[in-house]
Amino acid sequence: MKIVILDGYTENPGDLSWQGFENLGELTVYERTPLTDTKEIIRRISDAQAVITNKTPISSEVLDQCPHIRYIGVLATGYNVVDYKAARAKGIPVCNIPSYGTDSVAQFTIALLLEICHHVGHHDQAVRQGRWARNPDWCFWDYPLMELAGKTMGIIGYGRIGQGTGRIAQALGMNILAYDSYQYENLITPTCRYAELDELLEQSDVIVLHCPLFPETQGIINKNSIMKMKNGVIIINDSRGPLIVEEDLRDALNSGKVAAAAVDVVSTEPILTDNPLLSAKNCIITPHIAWAPKESRQRLMNTAVANLEAFLKGSPVNVIN
């Protein structure tokens, strides 16, 4: 079997091995493929039977021009880069990678929150700039510092990642309000319960987004929902950028209604130079790296190989179409 990986660099910039795929067939790995150059995508796939992609789109045109494709693997949980309906019509399974980054994303969520609470990076730089050495007092801080114990975290989307974040937050002494269409009774504890969205918005000191991007969740953080929040709320998003109306969040940050925000995802990625959040006060923006610890990427790699192996054995798994 000929296997083509169209954009392998982000998953494996050199610290992992492609050996698992090499064991399954003749492998060609492209570090990057132009996302808008359909002709080049078709040329690179050529007569390969298995195509592995992360963000390179596989459109119906690509499928029509590459009749040898028998399998499409996505190096991610999201699969919107593939025209999976067109693939289904051709009998081509599209397989994704569920649940590989649960612990990494939950950990990163808390890292963003703790940075907002303590501004560790800023104060480290201040010391290195000589400000502590010149300070007349034995300590100083440039931002209000925040203790999380006793505060309420509202988590919109209480699946695996949301629950992982909730467990860490509870260990820090926080109370959890969870909003999700599917509720697990065994998760209700003295420090964690489900709530309707409006109650969560009104009662939370910190609001975290861990929900999928669906039509009903797109723009769930907007000027109307922000108006219902506490003054001085903190908002964190390392799920999907379009969950937030970025202009509305910028305005709320600049007015002080929202005290701080941290986002690992934005509406268009890579970020555009005119993204509204770049002109917002007290907003941390990181380049979509919550998923990226080596351990997480290794799990992704292992599952991607196992998906293809299961297909070759006639029993495909993690099929989304």
Question: Tokens in use for 47?
Answer: 């007569």
Cα–Cα distance for residue pair 230/318, rounded to 1 Å: 41
Q: Is 269 a catalytic residue?
A: yes
Cα–Cα distance for residue pair 205/72, rounded to 1 Å: 43
Cα–Cα distance for residue pair 218/232, rounded to 1 Å: 23
Residue with tokens 């292992």: 302
The answer to whether the beta carbons of residues 234 and 261 sit under 8 Å apart is: yes
Active-site option among 210, 240, 250, 297: 240
Residue (of 144, 122, 156, 154) closest to 233 by Cα position: 154
Cα–Cα distance for residue pair 309/267, rounded to 1 Å: 34
The total number of residues written for the chain in this structure: 321
State the amino acid at position 315 in one-letter form.
S
C-alpha dihedral over 67, 69, 74, 78, to 10 degrees?
Answer: 40
Q: Is 70 a catalytic residue?
A: no
Q: At what angle do helices 102-118 and 160-171 cross, to 10 degrees?
A: 40
Question: Tokens in use for 266?
Answer: 């934005």
Q: Is 119 a catalytic residue?
A: no
Cα–Cα distance for residue pair 100/36, rounded to 1 Å: 28
Give the residue numbers annotated as catalytic, written as ranges.
240, 269, 288
